[in-house]
Chain A
């Protein structure tokens, strides 16, 4: 999606290192979300934001933190990466909470 950019697209790192994933949007949407997708589990919400500096936890938030200092950027940080956090991470945005979400291209993260 042209309005959502995730970076990096791929990353390989070692257990115990910090990792930050970035989601950048050009749509000026209020809501931003971070999901992880794993086989057999589907998409699971990690954290979401409903405005600048306003964030809340999702169903799998342990080991993750987020920050949103500007409308367009939503950062996901793994403070000390573990192998169980190997996954594909998707960012999504929406105008209103009840409106459909649109997804970025994803980040494939491998933690060795």
Chain B
């Protein structure tokens, strides 16, 4: 079992709707979680960090962390065609004081105009 798991998609959402991306994680993953956006042929770009239980909002993006159920999600409101990309979920694994990130395989999101 991978430490961080994502539905690979593709996920298609109409423009203006809410896109919901989900990620589950194993017991090995600690309390730091990150969402990255990656356009085709480009490098991953950090869009959200979340460290504590609950919701964190930044513009059209909301990250949600539920430690009891071991999932983290990303909501994108008012989806735009420019949101079409692959979204990577990452969680930190503690390794003798040096944390490492482990990534999900990514969810490909397509916003349909």
* Chain A residues near B (Cβ < 8 Å): 1, 31, 33, 40-45, 48, 50, 56, 58-59, 90, 97-98, 100-106
Given A50-B98, A103-B43, 4 more A-B residue pairs with CB atoms under 8 Å apart are A40-B105, A42-B106, A45-B100, A97-B97
Contact in complex: B105, A41 (CB < 8 Å) = yes
Question: Which of B34, B45, B98, B106 has the most chain A CB within a 10 Å cutoff?
Answer: B98
Interface class of chain B by DSSP? strand
Known A58-B100, A100-B34, A101-B101; judge A43-B95 contact (CB<8 A).
Answer: no
B49 at the interface (CB under 8 A from A): yes
Listed by A's residue number, 18 A-B pairs whose Cβ atoms lie within 8 Å are A33-B101, A41-B105, A42-B104, A42-B105, A42-B106, A43-B90, A43-B103, A45-B100, A45-B101, A58-B100, A97-B92, A97-B97, A98-B99, A100-B34, A100-B46, A102-B46, A104-B43, A105-B42
Contact in complex: B103, A98 (CB < 8 Å) = no
A76 to B44, CA, bound (A): 19
B22 at the interface (CB under 8 A from A): no
Query: B43 is contacted by which of A33, A56, A58, A105 (Cβ under 8 Å)?
Result: A105
B73 at the interface (CB under 8 A from A): no
A97 to B96, CA, bound (A): 11
Contact in complex: A90, B43 (CB < 8 Å) = yes
A81 to B99, CA, bound (A): 29
B77-113 contact mask (Cβ, 8 Å, vs A): 1 or 0 = 0000000000010101001011111111110000000
A106 to B45, CA, bound (A): 12
